[in-house]
Amino acid sequence: MIAPRPPRLALAAALATASFALYLPVAGHRFLSFDDPQYLLENAMVRRGLTWAGAAWAFGTLHFSNWHPLTWLSHMLDVELFGLDAGAHHLVSAGLHAANAALLFLVLRGLTGATWRSLAVAALFAAHPLRVESVAWVAERKDLLSALFGLATLGAWRRHAERPGLARYLLAVAAFAASLMAKPMWVTLPFVLLLLDLWPLQRWAGSPLPADPECPSLPRLPLGALLLEKVPLLLLSAASSAITVIAQSRGGAVAGLEVGPGTRVANALLSCARYLSKSFWPADLAAFYPFPRALPAWQVGLAALLLAALTGLAVWRARTSPWLLVGWLWFLGTLVPVLGLVQVGGQAMADRYTYLPAIGLLVALAWELPRLAGARPAAVVAAAALLALGLATARQLAFWRDDVALFSHALAATGPENARARGLLAVGLLRAGRRAEARAEALVALHTEPGSARLWLTLGMACAELGQVREAREALRAALERDPRLAGAWLLLGRVERAGGDVAEVRRIAGRLEPLDPAGAAELRRGLPAP
């Protein structure tokens, strides 16, 4: 007697429910000082909720060095529904992650026909603590939306591969465009689709790999045809990449970094190895990993050897275990846009960058382990891993409840010279009313990174709140020497000078602030005597 097929939708719903339950603690979390102000708290367009003007702005702006209109619209919708209730915003993100887990299961099952292995991949993906940054940080809503539409693209593409047709093809293209309009992380998706053509779709007529009888049988095409059908997707990727480079350049995110190409390549190799390590042993996860001052040659060499060995193993086993090659190349290929080969920002790596690459690793493991150890031992290992990862996620999630907890942990995880984390800790202490501690942390951070305009601004804020007017003025002027476009520093300096009664200086500062923050300039001028 043939056993009945497990109900797909019931399993997907159970997985989504469990994932959402794991992240329920975010309902009590606060907004962070790390990017949340620019995305939401201090963003006048977003704070208005959903409006036609806001929609036009979302599609036309490169605000905060990005073009991601669907992300802006998502934040606007949250404000429209919940105002600035932090818990509600966090729960929406938790719901999106739960939806991604369920969709990943359904997509993998459709691609491979394997229910339990697909469920294992999706469950381990959902429960892994490397996902916490993407889910528990409101500013990373873009990650979740990009993944949602990216997974929808894979599902639509599978249907097109089964029964080619213009409507199915255009649906996949539209879903891919939506993914890129949320975050350009999935620019390598055409590469992923080529990997899936190799296995499990097995669409390449001249494939050197033997057919996998466990996977669905689909029409086969020559390699040229497989490449040609992905040209529109490649054009979308190219356009998204070009817009991203323009946005990051205009925003200054790729300017002023004295990191040579050799150092960037070395850091990329080390980052790949560290992502791999943290995937198996997720210890010392941090909200910000500073770019290292030195990259030991032996560490870079070992990382290169490890990556080369694993690539060689995947190629060697390709004929008997094609999922190893596909999963490993998925992992490496989807990391390329975020490895810092074109350095953006001061981070060496970031947990959120694993949201897409992790799927490849998990697919390789979920298909290879039963082959090596048998189905039952593999199921026991998967269950134990799921429990351990869930507990680790619950622990990591607690660090994201507020700035002080998050950046205190980041310092503990990465070391005391993490000036960015210390500066954000100082901001968090200010928000908590702990002004003297904030001033002390800002001073320590400035010893490590004296050229940071934002650290000088943080010190100026702390001094101003402590009533140390002269020190505040000096710190704010130091910030503006380093970055004359730092609107927050001009505004606070104007407030300090206004409190001191220097009307002429306030007018001068308002003039400098006008092109950067017209509302702030109007605030400084309000009530001043006529010139």
CA pair distance 88, 269, nearest whole angstrom: 39
Which one has a higher pLDDT value, 529 or 117? 117
CA pair distance 493, 505, nearest whole angstrom: 10
Identify the DSSP state of 83: T
Give me the residue spans of the domains in the chain: 8-399, 403-525
Residue 76 Cα distances to 22, 39, 46, 151, angstroms:
26, 10, 5, 23
pLDDT tens, position by position, 310-324: 999 999 999 999 999
pLDDT grade for 343, boundaries at 50, 70 and 90? low
Neighbouring C-alpha atoms within 13 Å toward the C-beta of 20 = 15
Mean pLDDT, the chain, rounded, equals 94
For the chain, give the percent of residues with pLDDT over 70.
Answer: 96
Q: What is the pLDDT of residue 52?
A: 97
Give mean pLDDT, residues 406-427: 97
Q: What is the pLDDT of residue 252?
A: 63
Sign of CA dihedral 242, 245, 248, 251: negative
Angle (CA) 482 259 448, round 5°: 50
pLDDT at residue 455 is higher than 80: yes
Adjacent-strand bridge partners of 221: 204
Give mean pLDDT, residues 170-195: 97
> Given the structure tokens 């494939």, which residue do they identify?
207
424 burial via Cβ count (<10 Å: 0-12, 13-18, 19+) = buried
Q: What is the pLDDT of residue 91?
A: 98
Q: What is the pLDDT of residue 215?
A: 86
Sign of CA dihedral 268, 299, 131, 190: positive
Q: pTM here? A: 0.95
Q: Which CATH class is domain 403-525?
A: mainly alpha
